[in-house]
């Protein structure tokens, strides 16, 4: 019979896993070095998370911005624009900057290794897309139009964040991000 695990210990390990992935990346993730850093064994990491893929999925889920919270209580398109700008600042300057790098890496890996990372990447896309789409519907857009606008906004900002990470041209990319937000949420 498998040994039951301590949920508190798993959550404690998870915050360290997130920090490790932000620093070391996902592409060459090996459980032994990760476990050594966590002060445990690879067997225990698997005990707590089930698989390397499940570990990455769980880490991304806890590391991503609380988009639901940011778009909750949106009363106007202006509020949604302000929320989108806050997300942009968070993913490019603030606390979410590192976790977005991990997400972008997983998105790239999902193209080459869909069996390992595809489901995690899709879940991450929809975790950002759904709340924005739902807010747009509440503001009067049709579901189809809201889905299109949310897709352009979410994918556009994620792509621009990758551009910024690669080029480090903050002024140019910030202008593009704010133009995208203003144009798509007009």
The answer to whether 18 and 63 have CB atoms below 8 angstroms apart is yes
What is the structure's pLDDT at 98?
63
Same domain? For 43 and 112 the reply is no
Same domain? For 30 and 53 the reply is yes
Query: Does residue 97 lie in a domain region?
Result: yes
Q: What share of the chain is helix, strand, coil (3-state, %, to 5)?
A: 80, 0, 20
- Last residue within a domain, chosen from 61, 92, 107: 61
Q: How far apart are CA 149 and CA 115, in angstroms?
A: 29
- The mean pLDDT of the chain is 87
Residue 45, domain CATH = 1.10.10.60
Specify the range with the lowest mean pLDDT, choosing from 30-44, 151-165, 168-182. Answer: 30-44
Same domain? For 129 and 148 the reply is yes
Per the structure, the count of domains in the chain is 2
Write down the pTM of the prediction: 0.80
Query: Does residue 1 lie in a domain region?
Result: no
The whole domain housing 137 covers 65-184
Burial class (CB in 10 A: 0-12, 13-18, 19+), 139: middle
What is the structure's pLDDT at 1?
47
Query: Does residue 119 lie in a domain region?
Result: yes
Same domain? For 72 and 134 the reply is yes
CB-based contacts of 39-43 (< 8 A; 24+ apart in sequence): 40/13
Scanning the chain, the segments in alpha helix (DSSP H) are: 7-24, 31-38, 42-49, 52-63, 67-71, 77-92, 97-112, 114-138, 143-167, 170-184
The answer, yes or no, to whether residue 146 has pLDDT greater than 90, is yes
What is the structure's pLDDT at 95?
64
Question: pLDDT tens across 11-65, in order?
Answer: 888 888 888 888 888 888 888 999 898 888 888 888 888 888 888 888 888 777 7
Query: Does residue 2 lie in a domain region?
Result: no
What is the structure's pLDDT at 76?
94
Longest dimension (CA), the chain: 58
Better-scored residue on pLDDT, 28 or 158: 158
Residues 153-166: what's their mean pLDDT?
Answer: 93
Q: How far apart are CA 137 and CA 28, in angstroms?
A: 40
């Amino acid at each position: 019979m498998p040994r039951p695990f301590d949920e508190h210990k798993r959550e404690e390990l998870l915050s360290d896993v997130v920090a490790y992935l932000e620093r070391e990346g996902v592409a060459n993730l090996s459980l032994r070095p990760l476990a050594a850093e966590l002060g445990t064994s690879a067997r225990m990491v698997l005990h707590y998370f089930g698989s390397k893929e499940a570990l990455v999925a769980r880490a991304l889920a806890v590391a991503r911005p609380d988009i639901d919270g940011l778009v909750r209580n949106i009363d106007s398109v202006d509020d949604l624009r302000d929320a989108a700008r806050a997300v942009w600042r968070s993913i490019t300057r603030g606390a979410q900057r590192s976790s977005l790098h991990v997400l972008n890496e997983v998105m790239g890996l999902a193209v080459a290794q869909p069996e390992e990372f595809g489901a995690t990447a899709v879940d991450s896309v929809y975790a950002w897309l759904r709340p924005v789409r739902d807010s747009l519907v509440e503001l009067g857009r049709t579901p189809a139009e809201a889905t299109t606008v949310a897709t352009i906004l979410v994918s556009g900002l994620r792509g621009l964040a990758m551009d910024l990470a690669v080029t480090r041209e903050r002024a140019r990319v910030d202008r593009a991000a704010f133009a995208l937000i203003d144009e798509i949420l007009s």
